[in-house]
Amino acid sequence: MPEFEKAMTATLPRLSASTLAAAQAETQRPAYDRDRLGTGIVHLGLGAFVRAHQALYTEDLLATEPGDWGMVGVSLQRPDQRDRLMPQDGLYTTLQRDPSGLSARVVGCLRSVLVAPEDPSAVIDAMGSPDTRIVSLTVTEKGYCIDPATGRLQQQHPDIRHDLEHPDAPRTAVGFIVAALERRRAAGLAPFTVLCCDNLPSNGDVVATLVSDFAALRDDRLANWIETNAAFPSTMVDRIVPATTPDDLTEATRLTGLTDAAAVVHEPYRQWVIEDRFVGDARPRWERVGAEIVGDVAPYEHMKLRLLNGSHSALAYLGYLSGHETIADTVADPVLRTFVERLWREIVPVVPPPPGTDLASYTRALLERYSNPAIRHRTWQIAMDGSQKLPQRLLATIRERLTRELPLPGLALAVAGWMRYVGGVDEHGREIDVRDPLAARLRDTLDKAGGDPQARVRAVLGIEAIFGDDLARDPRFESALIAAYASLLARGARGAAADFNSHAGA
């Protein structure tokens, strides 16, 4: 346990079922009997986002209509979350931050936490239980072992090879899903619904393909049963959830009067759009507490991936390189604020709006959210795993603009910002702590290319896992990227953005 957590837990009683009654009166608490709450959802990837998003929708619903929709959380890699949450009986505090103030709420729908590497059979047991009707996921793009160029399973990925050789002790989300579905099929049980909540386009279809690819490597009959009987609805999720800091934990203690090692922070805004496709229609009625249940999620996810996630990544790279710690700091810089407004002018023309949505109003609301000084969403955090995020967030928009013969200087500058960032050295010669599955390969590729911008760009474009086999051969994209990267090297991120702004016009 980190030192600041040890110090906190030594001062006041720790949040738990037995101490909850002692929480300060202003603290919102579970409005249902936790002892009577059954578990109908197993969630893979128990990070901050799901606890500040999906769990809160579920908590809101349980407060109005009790049901067996408690959650079992699964950590696929480390025991950290279990070690924080289980001494607290699964309870944790959410802190809603907005410019007008801060409010605290204790969430109770998380019933237990499992650590997959310690006991994979317990995870399969939980997923295979007749009570489990939904297995949801937030494992980030890299957690699916997906080939970003093809959208199919990386069959030679070491963890996939391990899961095929050790089906009773998988490591990956896909491996666990197939193992549990195989058990349910053998027991004569209906499959569960697989509910992906990660930022992947057509995420339900993507996960269905990965599961089918994996199952077919095991047993064609199992793959056919899954395809015929299981459900993989697509979703779109939206809420800014920055990493929790020691100051956030201190605030949680101040507001509740109890120490909490697992508090999470979120903005007021939230959105959850869910395709209405569940096994046996077995699901919580989340629409009664604000979720949108629709026939087609694609327009919503398309809008969010391109306009929110794409601009978020662009601001993360250029903001970090400009010396800004957070997104709020970045958009407080007038040069980068203007940059993102003009970047949206490139993106909006290739984004069909969802029904009843005005994209100009949507981007204005995004800028207001980004500007919230109470949300300290670090540029370094958003910049993680860029090799996995770029294909969906930026490169897909670039392909569409190229198809329409439209210029893309702002999008090229965003990609160039990523290239400069993954080079591992900032504008002042300081090392960047790059967190990315391809970090070593990217750094080596750039280093071997030397100092010439054209050589460096062409070397990185040759990484087919990121850029596919088309963008490297497109002279329009290559020339735009070389120009943007050369501008970054010569003028720095802020100077390059200012040049773009001046050419983009008012």
Among 295, 322, 349, the domain-final residue is 295
- Condensed to tens digits (0 to 9), the pLDDT of residues 399-446 reads 999 999 999 999 999 999 999 999 999 999 999 999 999 999 999 999
- Asked if residue 172 and residue 117 are part of one domain, the reply reads yes
- Asked if residue 316 and residue 270 are part of one domain, the reply reads no
Among 295, 313, 345, the domain-final residue is 295
- Which of the four pLDDT bands, split at 50, 70 and 90, describes residue 4? very low
- Condensed to tens digits (0 to 9), the pLDDT of residues 68-81 reads 999 999 999 999 99
Q: Are 268 and 96 in contact (CB under 8 A)?
A: yes
- Asked if residue 326 and residue 262 are part of one domain, the reply reads no
Q: How many CA atoms lie within 13 A of 132 on its CB side?
A: 28
CB-based burial label for 387 (10 Å; 0-12, 13-18, 19+) = buried
Q: Are 324 and 336 in contact (CB under 8 A)?
A: yes
| Residue-level pLDDT at 6 | 52
Tell me 17's DSSP state: T
Average pLDDT over residues 227-232: 98
Mean pLDDT of the chain: 95
Q: Is 173 in a helix, a strand, or coil? A: helix
Among 295, 315, 342, the domain-final residue is 295
- Asked if residue 402 and residue 264 are part of one domain, the reply reads no
Number of domains in the chain: 2
Q: How many CA atoms lie within 13 A of 245 on its CB side?
A: 11
- Asked if residue 307 and residue 291 are part of one domain, the reply reads no
Strand duo 70-75 + 110-115: pairing? parallel
CB-based burial label for 205 (10 Å; 0-12, 13-18, 19+) = middle
| Residue-level pLDDT at 151 | 82
- Asked if residue 283 and residue 349 are part of one domain, the reply reads no
User: Nearest 5 degrees, angle CA 406-CA 408-CA 411?
Assistant: 145
- Asked if residue 126 and residue 24 are part of one domain, the reply reads yes
Strand partners, 264: 94
- Asked if residue 23 and residue 145 are part of one domain, the reply reads yes
* CATH code: domain of residue 395: 1.10.1040.10
The domain containing residue 121 runs over which residues? 3-295
Q: Does 190 have pLDDT greater than 80?
A: yes
pTM reported for the whole predicted model: 0.86
- Condensed to tens digits (0 to 9), the pLDDT of residues 371-390 reads 999 898 999 999 999 999 99
| Residue-level pLDDT at 10 | 54
Locate tokens 């090692």: which residue?
Answer: 261
* CATH code: domain of residue 15: 3.40.50.720
- Condensed to tens digits (0 to 9), the pLDDT of residues 27-52 reads 999 999 999 999 999 999 999 999 99
Average pLDDT over residues 56-66: 95
- Which of the four pLDDT bands, split at 50, 70 and 90, describes residue 505? low
- Asked if residue 280 and residue 267 are part of one domain, the reply reads yes
- Asked if residue 278 and residue 309 are part of one domain, the reply reads no
Q: How far apart are CA 111 and CA 105, in angstroms?
A: 17
| Residue-level pLDDT at 141 | 84
- Condensed to tens digits (0 to 9), the pLDDT of residues 492-502 reads 999 999 999 99
Beta carbons within 8 Å of 196's beta carbon, 6+ residues apart: 136, 137, 203, 204, 206, 207, 232, 234, 235
Q: Does 101 have pLDDT greater than 50?
A: yes
Q: How far apart are CA 126 and CA 132, in angstroms?
A: 7
- Asked if residue 457 and residue 377 are part of one domain, the reply reads yes
